[in-house]
Amino acid sequence: MSLRPLWDARGIAVIGASDRAGAIGRLPVQFLQRYGYAGPIYPVRPDGAPVAGLPSHASVADVPGPVDLAMVMVAADRVISAVRDCAAAGVPVVVVCSSGFAEVGEDGAALQDELVATARELGVRVLGPNCIGTVGTTTGQVSSFSPLFAGEHTQLVPGSLGFVSQSGALGYGAVSLAFERGLGLGWVVNTGNEADISATEVLAELAQEPGCAGLLAYAESLGDLAPLADVVAGGTPVALLKAGRSDAGARAAASHTGALAAHDAVVDAALRQIGVVRVDDVDELLDVGDVMDLARTVRGHTIRRVAIVTTSGGSGILAADAIEAHGLRLAELSEQTLTTLDDIVPAYGSTANPVDVTASVMSNPALFDDALGAIAGDDGVDAIVACFCVLTGSDVDAVVTALSQVRERTGVPVIAVRTGADHLAPTAAATMRAAGLPVYQTPARAVRALAALAQFAAPPVREKTTGASPAARPDTPSTRTDWSSLSEGATDEHALKALLREAGLPVPVGRIVTGADDAVAAVQEAGGRAVAKAVVPGLLHKSDAGGVILDVTPERAAEVHDQLAAMGGQVLMEEMVPGGVEALVGSTDTPLGRIITVGVGGVLTEIVADVALRLLPVERADVEEMLDDTRLGRLLGGVRGQGPADRGALVDAVLGIADLAAALPEGAELDLNPITVLADGRGCRILDAALALPDAAPATPDSPPDPEGD
């Protein structure tokens, strides 16, 4: 069912309307009138008295015309009955503004569950409860009671961006700041408790609206990210302010929304994987919003090499700092460009990037034009950051003309920085905005926005995540892997390794021996040296318990066997694998989905404590990135005089493990550590493997989880 009535309703009923000045039940009626909503507005109140000059109706059933949006503003205990009335009257979408649900505790949560159940049963979609409403700016549909719209000077600023916020007060505060800076919003939705309609669902629907160039969102909890991944993959830029980054913030968010938050590192990785730009503050959210219109024009381009044109050396340096901090690069200008600039830029300026054209060039529009043209025409330049400081009135037009002409002629995106009070050039901001030139107050903010533009221009290339479970892909190991063969508790190392070997993953040659004599034979089979391991169901910390013996020769094999057999389980004899770089690969469930972790393993696991993680599924490029994001990449490259290790073999193994892990039962935790990566060309071996199934009772419940693997 479409959510479009939230911003483009044919008719709106306000249930619980009031005529008392300042009453929140009067505000939406008043705002819809004030901002020019053209459809019919139907106040609903039991006594039928007029509201804000409009006749009211005793019930939504009595409303004469079609209504596709109802705002419910009655006390919590009367909300469900109001939703029933709406369903009976054929209203498809209801905005429940009332508080008194999950946010007030257990009783409220129960009431909220009942509300959702009722709505689902009746086929009505519910926004909220505990929300402040929605806005469609082009239609003047202010179906909201935010005090923002009571502001004497408040005007809607229509535009191409959608804004979705879980928080009402903060959300509309941010909307007021967007309007103030001239950042136009076409659609505003406050989702509140998200009992039924989630922010991601709204974002996915807004992305389908004609004219929607991008989406801004504030969220405290995240559910299924697949719809958001599809929005980004479909070409709509999304920037998200996800609160609860810190432990303290996450606790506050959990108590605010009642949702269990995913660990922030998982959120970070997941958003990065699907190409959502994550921001840390309201300012930054709007700053990124300011480049979204530009994103359409650069889609598919690589934006990495940035030229800085500045009238202030200081601004140029700050911009260069920010460029490096955001993973962009200062462009190297060609000889030809430098020659052209040499003729234009005075000696006390600089022709090297950052190009300091000095104020004297600024005052000569033709020269500034030439300099800018040479830079934009340089094949080594993907984008330009143009910095001005105390640019005053009359100079602004010349600058704007030059910047927008060069943008038009060359297609190179230009971001402007004006570090000066508004009153020095009162029309600058509006002029630049009208010319499609995003402008920022400081170099750092401009470059941050440019980095977002670069991300929007080249979003991660990946198949649609929806329904693309790896198990469904042909020819992957997981299609042959049946985890169910590992019964509860039967997650012993040998069984697990057999399963890994079955899936084509590299595990050492080895087998369970039947007795002391067989142990001797097994060591001989393994080439005369072996590792002996006790396989005792539920035995954690095998090494610490003396359950692993290295370098076993045929002579010692019988004795070693007896020693390990005395621990009460079986004995595994495996080939000795030479030393190499030790990695770890693991997989765990999180509220956002199953993740894979890759990092430094073996004895360094705890000391170095350096792992990267990604949501499944992962592609080869993701795995390469994970290696480079951790010290593991450096270790594989060879340190302390060692040659490079077989990185390719590890990447293959990680991809295989990722496919296997995707088929793991819910809640299962896989831990492969160490995986020894041998010298280049010699592959890698999974030396130890552990799997914790959710229902398996650990044998030693008091032991902490062992980061070293065994």
Q: Which is nearer to a copy of itself, 58 or 169 (CB)?
A: 169
Name which of residues 237 to 256 contact a copy of itself (CB under 8 A). 241, 243-249, 251-253, 255-256
128 touches a copy of itself by CB under 8 A:
no
Whole-number Å distance between alpha carbons of 206 and 121 = 25
In this chain, which of 283, 502, 589, 624 binds a copy of itself, going by CB under 8 A? Answer: 283
Is-contact 688 706, C-beta < 8 A? Answer: no
Of the candidate spans 419-427, 488-496, 664-672, 688-696, the one that interacts with a copy of itself by CB under 8 A turns out to be 419-427
Q: Is 146 in the site for a copy of itself (CB under 8 A)?
A: yes
Considering only the stretches 6-14, 101-109, 134-142, 469-477, report the one whose residues sit in contact with a copy of itself under the rule CB under 8 A.
101-109
Shortest CB 228 distance to a copy of itself, Å: 19
CA-based R_g, the chain, Å:
31
Q: Give 350 or 405: the residue with its C-beta nearer to a copy of itself.
A: 350
When asked if residue 350 is in the footprint of a copy of itself (CB under 8 A), the reply is yes
Kindly state the smallest distance separating residue 695's Cβ from a copy of itself, in Å. Answer: 29
How near is the Cβ of 241 to a copy of itself at its closest, in Å? Answer: 8
Per-residue binding string, a copy of itself, 377-406, x by CB under 8 A, is ------------xx-xx-------------
Total residue length of the chain = 710
Task: Find how far residue 316's CA is from the centre of its chain.
Answer: 31
Binding positions for a copy of itself, 299-318, rule CB under 8 A? 311-318
Is residue 180 within the footprint of a copy of itself (CB under 8 A)?
yes
Q: Does 179 bind a copy of itself (CB under 8 A)?
A: yes
Query: By three-state DSSP, how is residue 359 classified?
Result: helix
227's enclosing H/E stretch is: helix 226-233
Region from 9-17, 110-118, 150-158, 197-205 binding a copy of itself, contact rule CB under 8 A: 150-158
Q: Is the CB of 282 or the CB of 521 nearer to a copy of itself?
A: 282
Q: By CB under 8 A, tell whether 359 contacts a copy of itself.
A: yes
424 is an interface residue for a copy of itself by CB under 8 A: yes
**Closer of 165 and 404 to a copy of itself (Cβ):** 165
Q: Which residues pair with 588 in a beta bridge?
A: 595
In whole angstroms, what is the distance from residue 4 CA to residue 544 CA?
61
CA distance 394 to 9: 45
Choice between 350 and 401, CB closer to a copy of itself: 350
Of 46, 50, 65, 105, which one interacts with a copy of itself (CB under 8 A)? 105
Contacts to a copy of itself from residues 515-554, by CB under 8 A: 544
Identify which of residues 371 and 513 has a Cβ nearer to a copy of itself in the complex: 371
Q: Does 343 bind a copy of itself (CB under 8 A)?
A: no
504 binds a copy of itself (CB under 8 A): no
- Return phi, psi of residue 504, to 5°: 90, 10
| Residue whose C-alpha is closest to residue 384's, from 457, 435, 334, 443 | 443
Please check whether residue 359 is in contact with residue 308, taking contact to mean a CB–CB distance below 8 angstroms: no
To the nearest 5 percent, what fractions of the chain are helix, strand and coil? 40, 20, 40
Sort 22 into a burial class: Cβ within 10 Å, 0-12 / 13-18 / 19+: exposed
Q: What span, in angstroms and rounded, lies between the C-alpha atoms of 263 and 273?
A: 16
* Interactions with a copy of itself, residue window 638-697 (CB under 8 A): 639-641
Is residue 205 involved in binding a copy of itself (CB under 8 A)? no
Q: Is 10 a residue that touches a copy of itself (CB under 8 A)?
A: no
Residue with Cβ nearer a copy of itself (420 or 538): 420
What's the closest the beta carbon of residue 202 comes to a copy of itself, in angstroms? 16
Angle at 139 between CA 137 and CA 142, to 5 degrees: 60
Phi, psi of 41 (to 5 degrees): -115, 125
Site for a copy of itself in 30-59 (CB under 8 A): none
Contact range with a copy of itself by CB under 8 A, out of 115-123, 347-355, 475-483, 500-508: 347-355
Distance CA 349, CA 368 (A): 13
Task: Give how many residues touch a copy of itself by CB under 8 A.
Answer: 100
Q: Which of 398, 608, 692, 696 binds a copy of itself (CB under 8 A)?
A: 608
Q: Considering beta carbons, is residue 420 or 460 the nearer one to a copy of itself?
A: 420
Q: Is 581 helix (H, G, I), strand (E, B) or coil?
A: strand
Residue type at position 376:
A
Task: Draw the binding track, 151-170, toward a copy of itself (x: CB under 8 A; -: no contact).
Answer: xxxx----------xxxxxx
Asked whether position 113 contacts a copy of itself by CB under 8 A, the answer is no
* From candidates 423, 484, 578, 666, binder to a copy of itself by CB under 8 A: 423
Q: Is 75 an interacting residue with respect to a copy of itself (CB under 8 A)?
A: no
Cα 237 from chain centre: 12
Provide the strand spans (E) within 177-225. 185-190, 214-219
Minimal distance, residue 360 CB to a copy of itself, in Å: 10
Long-range pairs of 700-706 with CB within 8 A, sequence gap ≥ 24: 700/538, 700/539, 700/540, 700/541, 703/540, 703/541, 706/540, 706/541
The window from 48-56, 202-210, 319-327, 560-568 that contacts a copy of itself (CB under 8 A) reads: 319-327
Distance CA 614, CA 451 (A): 21
Among 84, 263, 631, 682, binds a copy of itself (CB under 8 A): 631
> What distance in Å separates the CA atoms of residue 515 and residue 521, rounded to the nearest whole number?
10
Residue pair 622/273 in contact by the 8 Å Cβ criterion? yes
List Cβ neighbours of 708 (8 Å cut-off, separation of 6 or more): 543, 602, 603, 605, 606, 673
Rule CB under 8 A: say whether 420 interacts with a copy of itself. Answer: yes
Distance of alpha carbon 485 from alpha carbon 693, whole angstroms = 12
Nearer to a copy of itself among residue 575 and residue 708 (C-beta): 708
* Identity of the residue, 358 or 481, whose beta carbon is nearer to a copy of itself in the bound complex: 358
Whole-Å CA distances, 223 to 189, 228, 235, 523? 17, 10, 21, 52
Task: Please say which residue, 89 or 252, places its beta carbon nearer to a copy of itself.
Answer: 252
- As measured in angstroms, the least distance from the Cβ of 35 to a copy of itself is 16
